[in-house]
Amino acid sequence: MTLSLFALQLLNGVEYGLLLFLVASGLTLVFGILGVLNFAHGSFYMLGAYLAYWFAERTGSLLLAMLIGLPLMVLLGLFVERFAIARLYARDHLSQVLLTYGLVLLFNELQRSLFGNEVHGVATPPLLAFRIPLGDQAWPAYRVLTAFACLAVAAAMRQVILRTRFGMRVRAGASNAEMVEALGIDVRRIFSSLFAAGAALAALAGMLAAPLTTVYPGMGEDILIVSFVVVVIGGIGSIKGAFIGALLVGLSDTFGKVLLPGFSSAIVYALMAAVLVFRPRGLLGQPA
C-alpha cells in the first residue's frame, strides 16, 4: 500500500466513522437518558436518505432537500415519541425491542409504498463534484464536506449538552428524572425533544450518506446493526464512547476492505468480540 493510498483510506475511514457517530450518538443518547433501546433508529437514517433523494430529485438541490427533509424528520420523531416510545418508559426490554421492531416493519412498508424497491442514486452537488489530489490518489470533495459537517454537528452537540440550560436539564433528567420533575421542570418535554433530536441526527447522517452509498431498501437495518456494534464498543450512554467506537469501526471497516477483502464485515464483529472479552461494558462504559 502506497503512502497516498494509506492516507486516502485513513481519511475515508475517519469520514465513515464520523457518519456512524451521528447515528450512534442519537441511539446512545436516547438509551442513556430515556432508557429505551430504539430499533427504529436505523429507520430514521433510511427515511432521511429517501427524503434527500426524493426532494433533491424535485428541487435539484441536495441542500434544499435537507432543509425541507430535516424538519419533517423532527416532526416524525416527535410523533413517534408521543404515540409509541412514551408508552415504553416503564416497560421491560422485551417490550421495547418488540414495539420498536414493529415500527421498523411499518417504516419499511412506508418506504416501499412511497418510494418503491429500486436502488436510487443521488447526484453529488455540482459545486462539490471535484476531487482533491492526494499524491497519486484523489479525495472527493463531497467526502471532505461530509467529514467536516459531522465534526461541526459533534462539536455543536457537545456545546449544547455541556453549556446550555437545555443540556443541563438533559443531564439532570438522565441521573434523576423524578427529582428534576419535582423541581418544576417538564421532563416529558425534554424527553420528546431529545428523541426528536436523535431522529434528526440519524436522518442527517442518511442525507449526507445518500450520494456516497446510494439509497436502497434495508439501508436502515445495516446502519442500525453497525451502530449497535459502535455503542457496544464505546459503552452505552456515553457520547465520548460512541465517538471513539465510531472512529474505530469506521477505520477497521475501511482498512479491512482493502487489506482483507471478503472478510471486512467480520473484522468489525471481531473487534466487538475482543471488547466484550476484555471490557464487557465497553471502552468507556460505567461499571455495573
Partner 1 sequence: MTVPLRVRALLIAGAAALLLVAFSHDRFWLQFLGKAMITCIFAMSLDLLVGVTGLVSLAHASFFGIAAYLLAGLSNRFGFVNPLLTLPLCLAGAALLALAIGWLSLRASGVYFIMVTLAFTQMLHYFFNDAPGFGGSDGLYVNQRPQIGPLDFSNRTASYLAIWTALVLVYLFLSRILRAPFGHVLAGIRGNEQRMLSLGYPIGRYKLVAFVLAGSLAGLAGYLDATLYGFVNPAQFSWRQSGVLLMTVLLGGKGTLYGPVLGALLLTFVEHYGEQFTSHYNALIGALIIAVVLFLPGGLAGLLRSARD
**225 binding partner 1? (CB under 8 A):** yes
How many alpha carbons lie under 13 Å from residue 219 in its C-beta half-sphere? 28
Grid cell locating 30: 436516547
**94 binding partner 1? (CB under 8 A):** yes
**246 binding partner 1? (CB under 8 A):** no
Query: Of the candidates 98, 100, 83, which has an alpha carbon nearest to the alpha carbon of residue 42?
Result: 100
SS3 for 137?
strand
**73 binding partner 1? (CB under 8 A):** no
Site string for partner 1, 151-190 (x = CB under 8 A): ----------------------------------------
**101 binding partner 1? (CB under 8 A):** yes
Taking the complex as a whole, the smallest distance from the CB of residue 206 to partner 1 amounts, in Å, to 19
- The amino acid sitting at 179 is M
CA–CA distance, 249 with 266 (Å, rounded to integer): 11
**109 binding partner 1? (CB under 8 A):** yes
CA–CA distance, 279 with 139 (Å, rounded to integer): 36
Among 118, 165, 277, 287, binds partner 1 (CB under 8 A): 277
Taking the complex as a whole, the smallest distance from the CB of residue 144 to partner 1 amounts, in Å, to 30
Angle of helix 41-59 relative to helix 219-234, nearest 10 degrees, comes to: 130
248-267 binders of partner 1 (CB under 8 A): 262, 265-266
Q: Which is nearer to partner 1, 94 or 165 (CB)?
A: 94
**116 binding partner 1? (CB under 8 A):** no
CA–CA distance, 268 with 261 (Å, rounded to integer): 13
Taking the complex as a whole, the smallest distance from the CB of residue 128 to partner 1 amounts, in Å, to 32
Strands 137-140 and 131-134: antiparallel
**90 binding partner 1? (CB under 8 A):** no
Size of the site for partner 1 (CB under 8 A): 41
9-68 binders of partner 1 (CB under 8 A): 31, 37
Distance from CA of residue 66 to its chain's centroid? Answer: 16
Among 161, 174, 221, 283, binds partner 1 (CB under 8 A): 221
Any idea how long the chain is?
288
- The amino acid sitting at 46 is M
**86 binding partner 1? (CB under 8 A):** no
φ, ψ of residue 133 to 5 degrees: the values are: -65, 145
SS3 for 214?
coil
SS3 for 120?
strand
Taking the complex as a whole, the smallest distance from the CB of residue 109 to partner 1 amounts, in Å, to 4
The site for partner 1 (CB under 8 A) is made up of 31, 37, 84, 87, 91, 93-95, 97-99, 101-106, 108-110, 112-113, 221, 225, 228-229, 231-232, 236, 262, 265-266, 269, 272-273, 276-277, 280-282, 288
